[in-house]
């Protein structure tokens, strides 16, 4: 920690949209110092060159990309953010942890506890299985205390964030059935990262809406693991994500069966009890529906719900910015928790 109480941060692999957004947030954070950024392709270039929108913002714009030397960077930085592809993050995390840095990983590598599950969903052996038990799931609304003391935080995926936060209070309070939980999500294209593939060209995404990843999207693994850990529920989720032509934002619409005796007051109460103090959860209730444009650029999740008297079922809807509450903002929220800064610092 720096003398003035600020936290020294490094971002490893800062070339994709999540890394870029994280750099933006760190530059603006009053008690975070950007000590190092790395990306193989940009070594020697300034932050303000690689990301022209950050040029001239402050001295951080002048910082040059370096290579990812764990020893050197761990000396500079209290905390290292990994914005790397899954599989790569795992082994990188190890070397930083060995050098004494705390690690906040944006990839999927430490979200699962079970290496067999990892292999099933990610198609390869886990790169650092000995660390699996050490990772804390970076959902502050549920793991605030563990995050505070963690040296390895695994930030949740964007879809899981948008699905777990609406579901968990209802499952924990046994207000809904664990059976037939069905989710349709809509995501802006930045959710696919800055992948240079034909599928993500403007001409292929603009004026296009399409489902993908049916029926077994990778994020199901962490969603179901958390439902089990936090609500004691074992049940496969039915999940279909869709790509829609916008830069940012996720809407998740969740269809659930209501438990006997549950009603609107109980649902409202469960949400209030779970999130009454959570600074980034906005409970819209049944009066207003979420809209990505109200959360884009923020770390909020908006949640609303409607009982359907015709079917007796409940529809819960959420909206987040996939790059903020869905990735980098949540990572910063974890940083705040880990280093004793106010949880909302740099995020409101």
Active-site residue set: 158
C-alpha 177, offset from chain centre: 26
Angle, CA of 81, 155 and 17, to the nearest 5°: 60
Answer yes or no whether residue 43 interacts with a copy of itself by CB under 8 A.
Answer: no
Cα separation, 211 vs 254, in Å, equals: 16
Q: Which residue has the tokens 């899954």?
A: 86
DSSP character string of 90-117: HHHHHHHHHTT-EEEE-SSTTT-S-HHH
Within 8 A by CB and 6+ apart from 244, the residues are 186, 187, 188, 209
Residue 342 carries which DSSP code? -
Specify the stretch interacting with a copy of itself by CB under 8 A; choose among 86-94, 152-160, 170-178, 248-256.
248-256
Q: Count of residues binding a copy of itself (CB under 8 A)?
A: 77
Specify the stretch interacting with a copy of itself by CB under 8 A; choose among 68-76, 90-98, 103-111, 199-207.
199-207
Cα separation, 280 vs 110, in Å, equals: 24
Copy the structure tokens of residue 203.
């001409």
Residue with Cβ nearer a copy of itself (78 or 224): 224
Instruction: Report, in Å, the least distance between residue 192 CB and a copy of itself.
Output: 9
Answer yes or no whether residue 40 interacts with a copy of itself by CB under 8 A.
Answer: no
Q: What is the CA radius of gyration of the chain?
A: 20
Using CB under 8 A, which residues numbered 53 to 112 contact a copy of itself? 53, 55-58
Tell which one of 135, 249, 326, 346 touches a copy of itself (CB under 8 A).
Answer: 249
Specify the stretch interacting with a copy of itself by CB under 8 A; choose among 5-13, 85-93, 110-118, 312-320.
312-320
Nearest to 218 by CA among 107, 121, 294: 121
Copy the structure tokens of residue 163.
């699905």
Tell which one of 45, 46, 294, 345 touches a copy of itself (CB under 8 A).
Answer: 294
Residue with Cβ nearer a copy of itself (43 or 214): 214
Tell which one of 206, 263, 272, 273 touches a copy of itself (CB under 8 A).
Answer: 206
Tell which one of 43, 98, 212, 342 touches a copy of itself (CB under 8 A).
Answer: 212
Instruction: Tell me if 123 sits within 8 A of 130, measured CB to CB.
Output: no
Residue with Cβ nearer a copy of itself (110 or 275): 275
Answer yes or no whether residue 326 interacts with a copy of itself by CB under 8 A.
Answer: no
Tell which one of 189, 223, 227, 324 touches a copy of itself (CB under 8 A).
Answer: 189
Residue with Cβ nearer a copy of itself (76 or 117): 117
Answer yes or no whether residue 148 interacts with a copy of itself by CB under 8 A.
Answer: no
């Amino acid at each position: 920690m720096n003398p003035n109480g600020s936290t020294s941060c490094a971002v490893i692999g800062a070339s994709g949209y999540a890394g870029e957004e994280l750099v933006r947030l760190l530059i603006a954070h009053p008690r975070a110092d950007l000590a190092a950024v790395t990306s193989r392709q940009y070594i020697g270039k300034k932050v303000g060159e690689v990301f022209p929108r950050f040029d001239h913002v402050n001295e951080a714009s002048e910082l040059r990309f370096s290579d990812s030397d764990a020893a050197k960077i761990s000396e500079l930085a209290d905390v290292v953010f990994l914005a790397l592809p899954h599989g790569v993050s795992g082994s990188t995390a190890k070397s930083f942890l060995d050098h004494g840095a705390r690690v906040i990983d944006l990839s999927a590598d430490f979200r699962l506890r079970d290496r067999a599950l990892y292999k099933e969903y990610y198609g390869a052996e886990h790169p650092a299985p000995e660390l699996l038990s050490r990772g804390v799931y970076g959902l502050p609304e549920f793991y605030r205390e563990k995050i505070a003391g963690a040296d390895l935080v695994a930030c949740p995926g964007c879809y899981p964030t948008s699905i777990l936060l609406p579901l968990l209070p209802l499952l924990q309070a046994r207000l809904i059935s664990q059976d037939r939980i069905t989710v349709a999500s809509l995501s802006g294209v930045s959710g696919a990262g800055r992948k240079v593939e034909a599928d993500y060209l403007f001409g292929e995404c603009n004026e296009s809406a399409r489902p993908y990843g049916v029926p077994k999207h990778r994020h199901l693994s962490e969603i179901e693991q958390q439902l089990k850990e936090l609500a004691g529920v074992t049940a496969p989720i039915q999940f279909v994500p869709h790509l829609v032509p916008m830069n940012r934002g996720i809407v998740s619409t969740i269809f659930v069966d209501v438990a006997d005796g549950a009603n609107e007051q109980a649902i409202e109460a469960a949400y209030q009890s779970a999130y009454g103090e959570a600074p980034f959860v906005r409970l819209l209730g049944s009066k207003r529906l979420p809209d990505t444009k109200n959360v884009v650029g923020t770390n909020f999740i908006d949640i609303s719900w409607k009982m359907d008297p015709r079917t007796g079922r409940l529809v819960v809807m959420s909206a987040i910015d996939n790059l903020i509450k869905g990735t980098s903002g949540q990572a910063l929220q974890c940083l705040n928790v880990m280093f004793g800064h106010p949880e909302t610092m740099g995020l409101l």
